[in-house]
Homo-oligomer: A and B are copies of this chain.
Protein backbone atom coordinates (compact mmCIF):
# COMPACT_ATOMS: atom_id res chain seq x y z
CA UNK A 1 0.00 0.00 0.00
CA UNK A 2 1.51 3.29 -1.03
CA UNK A 3 0.30 6.85 -0.93
CA UNK A 4 -1.26 6.81 -4.36
CA UNK A 5 -3.21 3.65 -3.67
CA UNK A 6 -4.35 4.94 -0.33
CA UNK A 7 -5.49 8.23 -1.78
CA UNK A 8 -7.35 6.52 -4.62
CA UNK A 9 -9.01 4.30 -2.10
CA UNK A 10 -10.18 7.32 -0.18
CA UNK A 11 -11.09 9.33 -3.22
CA UNK A 12 -8.73 12.06 -2.11
CA UNK A 13 -5.63 13.56 -3.59
CA UNK A 14 -2.18 12.44 -2.49
CA UNK A 15 -1.61 15.94 -1.22
CA UNK A 16 -4.48 15.78 1.19
CA UNK A 17 -3.64 12.34 2.41
CA UNK A 18 -0.03 13.27 2.95
CA UNK A 19 -1.02 16.39 4.80
CA UNK A 20 -3.59 14.63 6.88
CA UNK A 21 -1.02 12.11 8.03
CA UNK A 22 1.69 14.63 8.67
CA UNK A 23 -0.50 16.82 10.81
CA UNK A 24 -0.77 19.85 8.59
CA UNK A 25 -3.54 22.25 9.58
CA UNK A 26 -5.14 22.79 6.19
CA UNK A 27 -7.16 19.64 6.29
CA UNK A 28 -10.58 19.05 7.75
CA UNK A 29 -10.55 17.14 11.00
CA UNK A 30 -13.17 14.73 9.77
CA UNK A 31 -11.13 14.05 6.66
CA UNK A 32 -8.02 13.63 8.71
CA UNK A 33 -9.74 11.11 10.89
CA UNK A 34 -10.89 9.14 7.89
CA UNK A 35 -7.42 9.18 6.41
CA UNK A 36 -5.78 8.11 9.63
CA UNK A 37 -8.21 5.28 10.08
CA UNK A 38 -7.67 4.02 6.57
CA UNK A 39 -3.92 4.30 6.97
CA UNK A 40 -4.02 2.32 10.19
CA UNK A 41 -6.35 -0.24 8.71
CA UNK A 42 -4.13 -0.89 5.74
CA UNK A 43 -0.99 -0.61 7.78
CA UNK A 44 0.27 2.15 5.57
CA UNK A 45 3.79 3.39 6.26
CA UNK A 46 5.38 5.95 4.00
CA UNK A 47 8.32 4.62 2.08
CA UNK A 48 11.39 5.93 3.85
CA UNK A 49 13.44 6.37 0.73
CA UNK A 50 10.79 8.33 -1.08
CA UNK A 51 10.12 10.40 1.97
CA UNK A 52 13.79 11.00 2.44
CA UNK A 53 14.25 11.92 -1.17
CA UNK A 54 11.45 14.41 -1.00
CA UNK A 55 12.41 15.95 2.30
CA UNK A 56 16.15 15.65 2.05
CA UNK A 57 16.34 14.02 5.45
CA UNK A 58 17.32 10.44 6.04
CA UNK A 59 15.88 9.98 9.51
CA UNK A 60 18.92 7.97 10.36
CA UNK A 61 22.10 8.42 12.33
CA UNK A 62 25.37 6.90 11.24
CA UNK A 63 27.95 5.13 13.33
CA UNK A 64 31.13 4.46 11.43
CA UNK A 65 33.03 1.54 12.81
CA UNK A 66 36.51 0.90 11.57
CA UNK A 67 37.37 -2.74 11.65
CA UNK A 68 40.88 -3.97 11.72
CA UNK A 69 42.96 -6.52 13.44
CA UNK A 70 44.49 -3.61 15.33
CA UNK A 71 41.60 -2.50 17.35
CA UNK A 72 38.20 -3.84 18.13
CA UNK A 73 35.72 -1.06 17.92
CA UNK A 74 32.67 -3.21 18.33
CA UNK A 75 33.17 -4.14 21.93
CA UNK A 76 31.33 -4.42 25.16
CA UNK A 77 31.42 -0.73 25.81
CA UNK A 78 30.35 0.10 22.33
CA UNK A 79 27.43 -2.29 22.61
CA UNK A 80 26.09 -0.53 25.66
CA UNK A 81 26.58 2.86 24.13
CA UNK A 82 24.66 1.79 21.08
CA UNK A 83 21.88 0.45 23.23
CA UNK A 84 21.50 3.82 24.90
CA UNK A 85 21.70 5.82 21.72
CA UNK A 86 19.41 3.40 19.92
CA UNK A 87 16.63 3.88 22.41
CA UNK A 88 16.74 7.60 21.93
CA UNK A 89 16.77 7.24 18.17
CA UNK A 90 13.77 4.96 18.36
CA UNK A 91 11.84 7.45 20.43
CA UNK A 92 12.40 10.07 17.78
CA UNK A 93 11.71 7.80 14.85
CA UNK A 94 15.31 7.62 13.74
CA UNK A 95 17.18 4.57 12.59
CA UNK A 96 20.73 3.72 13.39
CA UNK A 97 22.96 2.78 10.53
CA UNK A 98 26.28 1.20 11.17
CA UNK A 99 28.92 1.33 8.50
CA UNK A 100 31.80 -1.00 8.97
CA UNK A 101 34.88 0.18 7.14
CA UNK A 102 38.45 -0.95 7.07
CA UNK A 103 40.57 1.61 8.93
CA UNK A 104 42.27 3.15 6.00
CA UNK A 105 38.93 4.00 4.44
CA UNK A 106 37.43 5.74 7.40
CA UNK A 107 37.83 9.23 6.01
CA UNK A 108 36.27 8.18 2.76
CA UNK A 109 33.45 6.57 4.68
CA UNK A 110 32.39 9.90 6.15
CA UNK A 111 32.65 11.55 2.78
CA UNK A 112 30.50 8.84 1.27
CA UNK A 113 27.96 9.01 4.02
CA UNK A 114 27.54 12.71 3.41
CA UNK A 115 27.42 12.37 -0.34
CA UNK A 116 25.07 9.43 -0.35
CA UNK A 117 22.85 11.28 2.04
CA UNK A 118 22.06 8.14 3.93
CA UNK A 119 22.32 9.76 7.34
CA UNK A 120 21.49 13.08 8.94
CA UNK A 121 24.36 12.99 11.36
CA UNK A 122 26.97 10.78 12.95
CA UNK A 123 28.43 9.87 16.28
CA UNK A 124 32.20 9.84 16.48
CA UNK A 125 33.51 6.96 18.54
CA UNK A 126 36.79 6.54 20.29
CA UNK A 127 38.43 9.86 19.50
CA UNK A 128 42.19 9.95 19.58
CA UNK A 129 44.31 12.97 20.35
CA UNK A 130 43.90 15.56 17.61
CA UNK A 131 41.37 13.40 15.84
CA UNK A 132 41.19 14.19 12.15
CA UNK A 133 37.58 13.16 11.85
CA UNK A 134 36.39 16.20 13.72
CA UNK A 135 37.85 18.62 11.25
CA UNK A 136 36.66 16.51 8.36
CA UNK A 137 33.12 16.40 9.60
CA UNK A 138 32.78 20.08 10.26
CA UNK A 139 34.20 20.68 6.81
CA UNK A 140 31.63 18.33 5.33
CA UNK A 141 28.91 20.05 7.29
CA UNK A 142 27.58 16.78 8.61
CA UNK A 143 26.21 17.19 12.13
CA UNK A 144 28.07 15.09 14.67
CA UNK A 145 28.63 14.51 18.34
CA UNK A 146 31.81 13.05 19.74
CA UNK A 147 31.64 10.44 22.44
CA UNK A 148 34.67 11.56 24.35
CA UNK A 149 36.91 14.46 23.48
CA UNK A 150 39.94 15.11 21.42
CA UNK A 151 42.83 17.09 22.80
CA UNK A 152 44.46 19.61 20.48
CA UNK A 153 41.52 20.09 18.17
CA UNK A 154 41.02 23.74 17.30
CA UNK A 155 37.42 23.53 16.15
CA UNK A 156 34.44 23.84 18.46
CA UNK A 157 32.52 20.60 18.47
CA UNK A 158 29.75 18.90 20.39
CA UNK A 159 30.70 16.14 22.76
CA UNK A 160 29.84 14.18 25.84
CA UNK A 161 32.75 13.08 27.93
CA UNK A 162 33.64 11.93 31.39
CA UNK A 163 36.24 13.85 33.29
CA UNK A 164 38.68 11.02 32.89
CA UNK A 165 41.63 12.84 34.30
CA UNK A 166 39.83 13.92 37.41
CA UNK A 167 38.31 10.49 37.95
CA UNK A 168 41.60 8.65 37.83
CA UNK A 169 43.30 11.38 39.79
CA UNK A 170 40.82 10.84 42.58
CA UNK A 171 41.18 7.08 42.37
CA UNK A 172 44.95 7.34 42.60
CA UNK A 173 44.64 9.78 45.46
CA UNK A 174 42.44 7.34 47.32
CA UNK A 175 45.02 4.61 46.96
CA UNK A 176 47.76 6.96 48.08
CA UNK A 177 45.69 7.93 51.08
CA UNK A 178 45.35 4.25 51.89
CA UNK A 179 49.10 4.12 52.07
CA UNK A 180 49.86 2.55 48.71
CA UNK A 181 52.96 3.82 46.97
CA UNK A 182 53.49 1.17 44.32
CA UNK A 183 50.43 1.76 42.19
CA UNK A 184 50.09 0.27 38.73
CA UNK A 185 48.09 1.64 35.84
CA UNK A 186 46.63 -0.84 33.40
CA UNK A 187 45.32 1.43 30.73
CA UNK A 188 43.61 1.29 27.36
CA UNK A 189 45.41 2.06 24.13
CA UNK A 190 47.15 5.35 24.60
CA UNK A 191 46.29 6.69 21.21
CA UNK A 192 42.79 6.96 22.59
CA UNK A 193 42.10 10.30 24.12
CA UNK A 194 40.42 8.89 27.20
CA UNK A 195 43.46 6.74 27.95
CA UNK A 196 45.76 9.69 27.67
CA UNK A 197 43.68 11.71 30.05
CA UNK A 198 43.49 8.91 32.52
CA UNK A 199 47.21 8.56 32.45
CA UNK A 200 47.52 12.28 33.09
CA UNK A 201 45.32 11.96 36.12
CA UNK A 202 47.36 9.08 37.40
CA UNK A 203 50.64 10.89 36.88
CA UNK A 204 49.38 14.09 38.36
CA UNK A 205 48.21 12.40 41.55
CA UNK A 206 51.50 10.58 41.94
CA UNK A 207 53.38 13.78 41.39
CA UNK A 208 51.37 15.63 44.01
CA UNK A 209 52.33 12.89 46.41
CA UNK A 210 55.95 13.22 45.44
CA UNK A 211 56.11 9.77 43.96
CA UNK A 212 57.92 9.14 40.73
CA UNK A 213 56.07 7.09 38.20
CA UNK A 214 57.61 3.73 37.42
CA UNK A 215 57.38 2.73 33.75
CA UNK A 216 57.27 -0.89 34.82
CA UNK A 217 53.95 -0.23 36.47
CA UNK A 218 52.28 1.26 33.45
CA UNK A 219 50.80 -0.72 30.62
CA UNK A 220 48.42 0.10 27.89
CA UNK A 221 46.69 -2.01 25.29
CA UNK A 222 43.35 -3.24 24.05
CA UNK A 223 41.16 -3.61 27.13
CA UNK A 224 40.64 -7.34 27.30
CA UNK A 225 40.56 -9.72 30.22
CA UNK A 226 43.78 -11.49 29.25
CA UNK A 227 45.54 -8.16 28.97
CA UNK A 228 44.58 -7.37 32.54
CA UNK A 229 45.61 -10.80 33.63
CA UNK A 230 48.94 -10.78 31.86
CA UNK A 231 49.84 -7.32 33.04
CA UNK A 232 49.06 -8.04 36.66
CA UNK A 233 50.77 -11.40 36.58
CA UNK A 234 53.96 -9.86 35.24
CA UNK A 235 53.92 -6.93 37.61
CA UNK A 236 53.28 -9.07 40.65
CA UNK A 237 56.45 -10.95 39.81
CA UNK A 238 58.56 -7.81 39.93
CA UNK A 239 61.12 -7.34 42.67
CA UNK A 240 58.99 -4.55 44.05
CA UNK A 241 55.49 -5.51 43.00
CA UNK A 242 52.61 -3.05 43.09
CA UNK A 243 50.20 -3.23 45.97
CA UNK A 244 47.47 -1.54 43.99
CA UNK A 245 46.14 -1.43 40.45
CA UNK A 246 44.15 1.11 38.58
CA UNK A 247 42.37 -0.44 35.63
CA UNK A 248 40.82 1.45 32.77
CA UNK A 249 37.97 -0.98 32.46
CA UNK A 250 36.10 -3.52 34.49
CA UNK A 251 37.11 -6.10 31.96
CA UNK A 252 40.76 -5.44 32.65
CA UNK A 253 40.01 -5.52 36.36
CA UNK A 254 38.56 -8.98 36.03
CA UNK A 255 41.80 -10.13 34.48
CA UNK A 256 43.78 -8.46 37.20
CA UNK A 257 41.69 -10.17 39.81
CA UNK A 258 42.38 -13.51 38.22
CA UNK A 259 46.11 -12.89 38.38
CA UNK A 260 45.86 -11.72 41.98
CA UNK A 261 44.02 -14.81 43.00
CA UNK A 262 46.40 -17.04 41.10
CA UNK A 263 49.19 -15.54 43.14
CA UNK A 264 47.31 -16.52 46.29
CA UNK A 265 46.90 -12.91 47.24
CA UNK A 266 43.73 -11.49 48.64
CA UNK A 267 41.90 -8.75 46.80
CA UNK A 268 41.23 -5.76 49.01
CA UNK A 269 43.85 -6.87 51.46
CA UNK A 270 47.13 -7.78 49.82
CA UNK A 271 46.28 -6.02 46.63
CA UNK A 272 43.87 -3.17 46.00
CA UNK A 273 42.15 -2.57 42.69
CA UNK A 274 40.19 0.38 41.42
CA UNK A 275 38.67 0.28 38.00
CA UNK A 276 36.84 2.57 35.70
CA UNK A 277 33.33 1.16 35.61
CA UNK A 278 31.30 2.01 32.56
CA UNK A 279 28.27 0.38 34.13
CA UNK A 280 28.10 -2.14 31.33
CA UNK A 281 24.88 -4.09 31.56
CA UNK A 282 26.50 -7.48 31.21
CA UNK A 283 29.17 -6.70 33.74
CA UNK A 284 27.49 -4.91 36.55
CA UNK A 285 29.97 -4.24 39.25
CA UNK A 286 28.36 -6.71 41.61
CA UNK A 287 24.69 -6.81 42.49
CA UNK A 288 24.75 -5.43 45.99
CA UNK A 289 27.95 -4.00 47.31
CA UNK A 290 30.25 -3.29 44.39
CA UNK A 291 32.95 -5.86 43.77
CA UNK A 292 35.43 -3.26 42.71
CA UNK A 293 35.97 0.16 44.09
CA UNK A 294 35.38 2.14 40.95
CA UNK A 295 35.01 5.44 39.21
CA UNK A 296 31.62 5.02 37.67
CA UNK A 297 29.92 6.60 34.72
CA UNK A 298 27.30 4.91 32.61
CA UNK A 299 28.28 4.57 29.00
CA UNK A 300 24.71 3.74 28.15
CA UNK A 301 23.61 7.04 29.58
CA UNK A 302 26.31 8.69 27.52
CA UNK A 303 24.87 7.03 24.44
CA UNK A 304 21.47 8.41 25.26
CA UNK A 305 22.81 11.88 25.82
CA UNK A 306 24.93 11.94 22.68
CA UNK A 307 21.91 10.92 20.68
CA UNK A 308 19.78 13.64 22.22
CA UNK A 309 22.34 16.30 21.51
CA UNK A 310 22.79 15.12 17.96
CA UNK A 311 19.08 15.00 17.27
CA UNK A 312 18.63 18.46 18.69
CA UNK A 313 21.40 19.69 16.45
CA UNK A 314 19.73 18.11 13.45
CA UNK A 315 16.31 19.51 14.25
CA UNK A 316 17.80 22.94 14.67
CA UNK A 317 21.17 23.28 12.96
CA UNK A 318 21.75 26.69 14.47
CA UNK A 319 22.26 25.30 17.97
CA UNK A 320 25.85 25.91 18.96
CA UNK A 321 28.06 22.89 19.69
CA UNK A 322 27.12 21.58 23.07
CA UNK A 323 29.89 20.23 25.26
CA UNK A 324 29.15 18.16 28.28
CA UNK A 325 31.64 16.95 30.84
CA UNK A 326 30.51 14.47 33.41
CA UNK A 327 32.15 13.77 36.69
CA UNK A 328 32.43 10.10 37.48
CA UNK A 329 31.37 9.04 40.94
CA UNK A 330 33.89 7.20 43.02
CA UNK A 331 32.10 4.29 44.65
CA UNK A 332 33.68 2.16 47.28
CA UNK A 333 33.67 -1.58 46.86
CA UNK A 334 35.45 -4.53 48.33
CA UNK A 335 38.58 -4.34 46.28
CA UNK A 336 40.41 -1.65 48.19
CA UNK A 337 42.01 -1.54 51.58
CA UNK A 338 45.00 -0.11 53.34
CA UNK A 339 48.39 -0.91 51.89
CA UNK A 340 49.81 -4.06 53.46
CA UNK A 341 52.65 -3.51 55.92
CA UNK A 342 55.93 -4.36 54.26
Q: Which residues of A contact B (CB under 8 A)?
A: 1, 43-50, 52-53, 58, 60, 65, 67, 72, 74-76, 78-80, 82-83, 86-87, 89-90, 95-102, 111-112, 115-118, 223-226, 230, 251, 254, 257-258, 261, 281-284, 286-287, 291
Contact = CB atoms under 8 A, between A and B. Distances in A.
Given A74-B86, A86-B67, A97-B97, A284 B111 contact: no
A257 B260 CA distance: 13
Contact of A90 (B72, B100, B257): B100
Given A45-B116, A223-B282, A251-B282, 16 more contacts: A47-B53, A47-B115, A49-B52, A49-B117, A49-B118, A53-B53, A67-B87, A75-B79, A75-B282, A90-B99, A90-B102, A95-B98, A95-B99, A96-B99, A226-B287, A230-B287
A83 B65 CA distance: 9
Contacts of A230: 287
A52 B60 CA distance: 15
A116 B47 contact: yes
Q: Is the interface of A mostly helix, strand, loop or mixed?
A: mixed
24 contacts: A44-B115, A45-B116, A47-B53, A47-B115, A48-B49, A48-B118, A49-B50, A49-B117, A67-B90, A74-B79, A75-B79, A78-B79, A86-B98, A86-B100, A90-B100, A97-B98, A98-B98, A225-B254, A225-B282, A225-B284, A226-B284, A226-B286, A251-B283, A257-B258
B90 A101 contact: yes
A37 to B, nearest CB: 17
A186 to B, nearest CB: 15
